[in-house]
Structure 1
């Protein structure tokens, strides 16, 4: 069973300061999570609009914006939560919000594909702000910190999806893509000020230690090399084997160096705690399923059958705003409170919770693989998918947080968040490759879109990822049992 570390009580009581306002802290934490998830989930319904406005030729080129966002998040999810542990929650939150503001400002001013790509990288880095409430709520709310922090993360994620999918589509339809980024810049700047004013500037939770910058950069580099192969491999052909080999060799070397490092990116002792590594793998798989589902749905929904040849015809012909409403059940499912499952997690029974989440997600994907031609079919599938993903995220983040003491809450959030970022990028790259396997022309435009049959294939592939969660936790439990039997012997 996962080791549960007791809370040290309210941090403000330890240092002799007035207790922070619980409602204010939850409010600013909710704001950070809503904003960062809105930025992430704005992109799927807007990808076709971005492709048309900037004249991008292929699906793979368009989805590099999504991959850039999640790769930037990979760096931010490691560095910024550790910054909170070492230099204070306020400093980390202000820095993350500032990166979001600058990342939105660049495409607002540049209004081009290159500036949008750079902005996505910076906004991805600032997207680590969604993990910071796990640390400052735990450090300031005492014994209920983990439960409240994870609940805020999950619920606010659902709200952020609604804001991103529906609000983003409404703004773009009413104004323009450039105007949207101007508004986003203003919102991010206001959030930066709110973080500075409301989050307590407490002494660092962890006084010793440093951020492993070299290890972090190395990790992002080899992951990016593999993702480059997955995203552009069909275009590059045999040449794609070069970044693939570089990525695999770099990853193996990174793991070997990290095991011997005195300042590893991740705490080795924490990763050896039962079910922690498995929880991180499960978070990555749920994130991959999440991003794959969003990309498949948003792409199919916005293709108009009238623009294709009769033999290739498919799609719903929806706008970005209408696509956002189609995803509303996915977001609404995140608002469902699973009291029984939460209690099971706090009692260390994470395996059955993971299995429930995985099987729920797999059933939703199987439904969509067989039925994705009508809007009502997406509404049903989105609701089931949202519930399964919500259960999986809650289980993963809770299990990882319970494995560490309060002063390392940021590191734990960073480990889980990095897994989520890599999963998002992998899911996007996988489906991007799938949708690039066979293309059909859009009449009168010179553009091409995926062939109809690839969407069913994409949903089945995503379902396999969901079932791998079950395999992961069962193997982890079996290995833990063998270690216990060996120790007893």
Structure 2
């Protein structure tokens, strides 16, 4: 009887695998999220080594690494969570981890700039694995699935960001690039095996659905065009308006066609649910704040004051490893369990939670806008911004998940994840533009760096992004009340 009680029977009468252990599932989900975020954030400290080792003539060439990761991630965020709905959580997770493994293996074997670009594309696609735990935790943990899944996603994301930054600094000081990619290949291969062994192989969650090939390829194309503009706009100048225009027009046309499609990539009804569209916009804004803060901090912290003229001098002169440690409070804030806020989200008070997160973020950014020349000031700002971002991400992913049934959990994660990718690219592009507006020369290397005053302005820009969250949710609530009033009359 005990053995039978540990199994779940589906409608076709076939017994599934034994009910998985909650701790094991949470552990493998956290591993996927930490690994994928660490891979992304381990790159910034490695850029000087990559540029020197592969003889890259300009910094612009190194930005293609981010572009490759972002474009690969744009496709992965769309496809992998949907594959989990239609072909099973284990299959999608193993496929994602395998992409990460091959992506790390290619530059480890090739040890060249072209193979590194190819590897970044593959790792970017596999990086969408960070969204898959939302689906398999929800489908296997019952009533607590959404709350636990979102908590694991948010907490592990913060940990992965700082692990990546600290790990990148450690690698700079102790390992070669090739050694790093060999080690990363081993870790990703072990993660692939862990996914196969621990994630239940249940029947597909959505048996009758299918992926619309045309709509999927179309969406990947217009999202990629916009991401390409955001990541390479400064390098291309006005020429970047071409892919931007193609992406915007293609996106508008895609939405019109998808509304009438019988095999839509994303369920149109999902986007019409209360607060869902606003939540996706808010996720994008919080991601933009996240990337803006990390770029501003990592850039300022590693400038050596003595390498600038006295009139231009600024910076903390930290190593890449020390910079990663400076971000530790950001990750620690993600570890805070928001039980009260989770209850508020479950009771339909998502607007209030978004506002709280945005105001906390904005206060931390304003603090750094006026005080960012001492390490202790960054420690305080990182903790406050991390807390606000944690609340915002939790609210966004929870609201979107609650709008769909369990069998479409992957699709909902894909919508939110795509919004996050676009927002992150936008925040990076915005601050990159800010830090390029006025340059001053360094004395030893001869390279130009951003003028000191641009950092304060950058934090003010990020604070405006945070306040746009408040505007977004208040407009959404007003429109919802207006619709209810119209239907009532």
TM-score range normalised by the length of the shorter chain = over 0.9
Q: CA deviation at 1:367?
A: 1.2
- CA spacing shift, 1:237–1:416, aligned 2, 3 Å: closer
Match of 1:159 in 2: 159
Is the contact made by 1:58 and 1:448 (CA closer than 8 Å) also made in structure 2? no
Question: 1:140-219 to 2 correspondence within 5 Å?
Answer: 140-219=140-219
Matched position secondary structure for 1:209? coil
**Root-mean-square deviation over aligned CA pairs:** 2.1
Q: CA deviation at 1:13?
A: 4.4
Match of 1:401 in 2: 401
Is the contact made by 1:139 and 1:406 (CA closer than 8 Å) also made in structure 2? yes
Is the contact made by 2:227 and 2:422 (CA closer than 8 Å) also made in structure 1? no
Match of 2:303 in 1: 303
Structure 2 stretches lacking a partner, 5+ long: none
Distance in structure 2 (CA, Å) of the matches to 1:258 and 1:235: 33
Q: CA deviation at 1:393?
A: 0.5
Distance in structure 2 (CA, Å) of the matches to 1:60 and 1:433: 13
Match of 1:256 in 2: 256
- CA spacing shift, 1:36–1:230, aligned 2, 3 Å: closer
Matched position secondary structure for 2:425? helix
User: Deviation digits for residues 332-378 of structure 1, max 9, x if unmatched?
Assistant: 00000111101000111100000000111111111111111111111
Greater CA drift, 274-283 or 241-250: 241-250
Distance in structure 2 (CA, Å) of the matches to 1:288 and 1:64: 19
Q: CA deviation at 1:110?
A: 2.9
Matched position secondary structure for 2:311? helix
Distance in structure 2 (CA, Å) of the matches to 1:278 and 1:139: 25
Matched position secondary structure for 1:131? helix
Distance in structure 2 (CA, Å) of the matches to 1:243 and 1:135: 33
Distance in structure 2 (CA, Å) of the matches to 1:131 and 1:363: 29
Match of 2:417 in 1: 417
Q: CA deviation at 1:285?
A: 0.8
Distance in structure 2 (CA, Å) of the matches to 1:10 and 1:358: 43
- CA spacing shift, 1:10–1:53, aligned 2, 3 Å: farther
Q: How many residues in Structure 1 have an aligned counterpart in Structure 2? A: 481
Structure 1 stretches lacking a partner, 5+ long: 1-8
Match of 2:365 in 1: 365
Question: 1:334-349 to 2 correspondence within 5 Å?
Answer: 334-349=334-349
User: Within the alignment, does 1:33 sit opposite 2:33 as a pair?
Assistant: yes
Matched position secondary structure for 2:8? helix
Match of 1:110 in 2: 110
Matched position secondary structure for 1:352? helix
User: Deviation digits for residues 88-140 of structure 1, max 9, x if unmatched?
Assistant: 11100000001111111222223333332322221111111111111111111
Distance in structure 1 (CA, Å) of the matches to 2:431 and 2:332: 24
User: Within the alignment, does 1:268 sit opposite 2:268 as a pair?
Assistant: yes
2:8 to 7, 12, 23: 12
Match of 2:325 in 1: 325
User: Within the alignment, does 1:247 sit opposite 2:247 as a pair?
Assistant: yes
- CA spacing shift, 1:232–1:38, aligned 2, 3 Å: closer
Match of 1:375 in 2: 375
Is the contact made by 2:45 and 2:172 (CA closer than 8 Å) also made in structure 1? no
Match of 1:69 in 2: 69
Q: CA deviation at 1:68?
A: 2.8
Question: 1:213-228 to 2 correspondence within 5 Å?
Answer: 213-228=213-228
Greater CA drift, 186-195 or 417-426: 417-426
Is the contact made by 1:48 and 1:299 (CA closer than 8 Å) also made in structure 2? no
Q: CA deviation at 1:297?
A: 0.9
Is the contact made by 1:103 and 1:119 (CA closer than 8 Å) also made in structure 2? yes
User: Deviation digits for residues 427-447 of structure 1, max 9, x if unmatched?
Assistant: 112222222222233334343
Q: CA deviation at 1:473?
A: 0.5
- CA spacing shift, 1:64–1:135, aligned 2, 3 Å: same
Distance in structure 1 (CA, Å) of the matches to 2:280 and 2:266: 12
Match of 1:281 in 2: 281
Distance in structure 2 (CA, Å) of the matches to 1:309 and 1:214: 56
- CA spacing shift, 1:434–1:440, aligned 2, 3 Å: same
Match of 1:441 in 2: 441
User: Deviation digits for residues 230-255 of structure 1, max 9, x if unmatched?
Assistant: 44444444433333322322222222
Is the contact made by 2:67 and 2:228 (CA closer than 8 Å) also made in structure 1? no
Is the contact made by 1:168 and 1:321 (CA closer than 8 Å) also made in structure 2? yes
Distance in structure 2 (CA, Å) of the matches to 1:10 and 1:467: 48
Match of 1:137 in 2: 137
Matched position secondary structure for 2:15? coil
Q: CA deviation at 1:283?
A: 0.7
Q: CA deviation at 1:186?
A: 0.6
Q: CA deviation at 1:66?
A: 2.6
Structure with bigger RCO (C-alpha 8 Å, 6+ apart):
1
Matched position secondary structure for 1:12? strand
Distance in structure 2 (CA, Å) of the matches to 1:59 and 1:382: 27
Instruction: Compute the TM-score of the two structures, normalised by the length of structure 2.
Output: 0.93
